[in-house]
Structure formats: structure tokens, C-alpha cells
Amino acid sequence: MEFVVASSIGVLTAGGVYLILRLRSFPVILGLALLSYAVNVFLFASGRLAVDLSPILSKYGDASYTDPLPQALVLTAIVISFGMTAVLVMIGLGAFFEAETDQIDITAQDETDPGASKETDA
């Protein structure tokens, strides 16, 4: 159980980090989605792993239970990361239609673009 959870977090994080270092916006968006999955599983595991237990404290103190707080945190994190991914897709699309390229880096030539026309004139 621990091994499965730990390795899935590791694999998702590794894949996510690799993808957000790509130059095009689509892999970067995918990478961020993978990273947010990884962090959701990680948050879930931060309340200790327990199988087949309810997140309710029994009135008899000896019964074990699973920590409900990380589950609430994960729910919040899922909602936020889902919304953020949607926003990112829209901004990515907007940037693609404006710039007609989905390259995510600003090249040196682009950065001096507004002054470039001046340079030839002066």
C-alpha cells in the first residue's frame, strides 16, 4: 500500500516536472495537471494511510479511524486545481490565437520587439 502510493506520487511528480519543462504550452498544461494529481495523492497520504476505516471518531476511544482533515484539504485542492487548469487552458488558447505559436518562452528577439523598429530608424 505504502509502496504503491509513494511510487505513484513519485511517478506523477517526475512526469509533471518533465512536462512543464517542455517548450510548448500543451505539454506544460498536461504537466501541471499531473503535478496537481501528484499533490492530491500526497495530501491524502499526509493524514497517514489507513484502509477500510471511516473518517469518524468512534465514541469508544479505542476504535481507529482515518484522519478526515486531509480529505477536506484534498477536496479544496482538487476544486482549485481543476478551476486553475481550466483558466490556464483558456489563457493558453488565447495566447496561441494572438501569437499564432504555442511556444511558451519569450525569445530574446520578442523581448526587444517594441524597440526593434526604432533601432533601424535611428
Q: Which residues bind other proteins (CB under 8 A)?
A: 16, 20, 25, 28, 32, 35-36, 38-39, 42-43, 45-48, 69-70, 73, 76-77, 80-81, 83-84, 87-88, 91-92, 94-95, 98-99, 104-106, 110-115, 117-119, 121-122
Which whole-number Å values give the CA distances from 82 to 73, 87, 101, 108, in the listed order? 14, 9, 25, 33
CB of 61 to other proteins, least distance (A): 17
Residue 6 C-alpha cell reads as 509513494
Q: d(Cα 9, Cα 40) in Å, to the nearest integer?
A: 9
For other proteins, give the closer residue by CB, 53 or 75: 75
CB of 49 to other proteins, least distance (A): 11
What is the distance, to the nearest Å, from the Cα of residue 18 to the centroid of all Cα atoms in its chain?
Answer: 12
Q: Are 103 and 87 in contact (CB under 8 A)?
A: no
CB of 52 to other proteins, least distance (A): 21
For other proteins, give the closer residue by CB, 54 or 94: 94
For other proteins, give the closer residue by CB, 4 or 122: 122
Q: Are 45 and 7 in contact (CB under 8 A)?
A: no
